[in-house]
Amino acid sequence: MTRLADALRRAQHPAQVGQVSEPFQIPEPAWDSASTEAAAVEPVPDRKWLSHDPIPVGDASVVATRAPHDFSDRLACKLVTDPGLHPLAVEQYRRLAAALHHAKTQSGIKVVMVTSAVVAEGKSLSVCNLGLTLSHSYRKRVLLIDADLRRPSLQEMFKLPPTAGLSEGLHAKDECELPLYEVSPGLVVLPAGRPDADPVGGLTSGRIGRVIVEAAEDFDWVLIDTPPLGLVPDAALLGALADTVLLVVRAGASPCALVRQAIETLGADKIFGVLLNAAATGTVVSSGSDYSYGYSKRT
């Protein structure tokens, strides 16, 4: 717990805050939110924050077969469970999962933050595909935490009910058990809950550290989806609590200067690797073949 306490202290110094667009709205959650000050209250040490009975909501492979009429369905067509996705794209996620599995046997990493330098890089899709690969191909129990509290997407991606989630848990006046949803065998999601325009108070509280520690005790892997590093301090705060970080970069779109800044913010030693997303056919070659997604471990 000493390392976690040190990380929480480092997290008290956020990076520069930029402008973000208005988050989409969902119905009022079942829990009442408290003020930001309530997030600073330390939890009881033996409190269980995560439900031990995830609510089954169906299989993500079923979601992937739906016609792409809306946001979640369009993304679902790019999931590794979609039979229409190029097999080499699926193989690259398996390669990434294999690299993480090997690193875990060597150093014990378990909590992986997935972020990007700017918006629209494909980080949420990437974290979903990594979670599906680890749970389906490696038969591991995986928790996806939607920590993009300003503009959450996993709740809509997996068509979860508009319930309370991490945001309400961090700001609730009283302690509460956070709901979990099993979206496919072995893959569980902790939704963000209601969008929060200013989640920094909750992300600098002792509660978020307790949630992550408990998640690491209960699951084989914990994957955290966060906002981009270049806009708000959220990802930098959460990065201090993760074992390692995957940086998603969109081919031909990510500004090099902002990618370098993101690496400097996190520290090069903290970054496990870079996932190149949306590479044009022929841009990246592996074993003589072209593919749409690439993974490169930092050296």
Strands (E) located in 30-95:
55-56
pLDDT value of position 135: 95
Residue 176 pLDDT grade (very low, low, confident, very high; cuts 50, 70, 90): confident
* pLDDT higher than 80, residue 201: yes
107 burial type by CB count under 10 A (0-12 exposed, 13-18 middle, 19+ buried): exposed
Q: Over the stretch 106-129, which tens digit does the pLDDT of each residue have? A: 999 999 999 998 888 889 999 999
The structural domain count of the chain equals 1
Neighbour tally for 120: CB within 10 Å: 12
Q: Percent helix, strand, coil in the chain (nearest 5)? A: 35, 15, 50
On whether residue 177 sits in a domain, the answer given is: yes
On whether residue 22 sits in a domain, the answer given is: no
On whether residue 17 sits in a domain, the answer given is: no
pLDDT value of position 82: 81
Query: Letter for the amino acid at 122?
Result: G
Residues 6 or more apart in contact with residue 174 via CB below 8 angstroms: none
> Domain with 284 in it: what CATH number?
3.40.50.300
On whether residue 32 sits in a domain, the answer given is: no
Residues 6 or more apart in contact with residue 2 via CB below 8 angstroms: none
pTM of the model: 0.74
Strand order in the sheet with 244-250: 55-56, 181-184, 187-190, 142-146, 221-225, 111-116, 244-250, 271-277, 294-297
On whether residue 26 sits in a domain, the answer given is: no
d(CA 19, CA 232): 8
225 pairs with which residues across the strands? 114, 146
* pLDDT higher than 70, residue 290: no
Residue 55 pLDDT grade (very low, low, confident, very high; cuts 50, 70, 90): confident
Residue 87 pLDDT grade (very low, low, confident, very high; cuts 50, 70, 90): confident
Residue 167 pLDDT grade (very low, low, confident, very high; cuts 50, 70, 90): very high
On whether residue 209 sits in a domain, the answer given is: yes
pLDDT value of position 245: 96
Owning domain of residue 265: 2-12+55-297
57 burial type by CB count under 10 A (0-12 exposed, 13-18 middle, 19+ buried): middle
Neighbour tally for 268: CB within 10 Å: 8
On whether residue 25 sits in a domain, the answer given is: no
On whether residue 266 sits in a domain, the answer given is: yes
Q: Which residue would you say has higher pLDDT here, 269 or 287? A: 269
pLDDT value of position 68: 36
Q: Which residue would you say has higher pLDDT here, 248 or 289? A: 248
Tokens 């999962």, located at residue: 97
Radius of gyration of the chain (CA): 18
| Angle (CA) 121 4 150, round 5° | 35
Packing angle, helices 123-136 and 87-107, rounded to 10 = 70
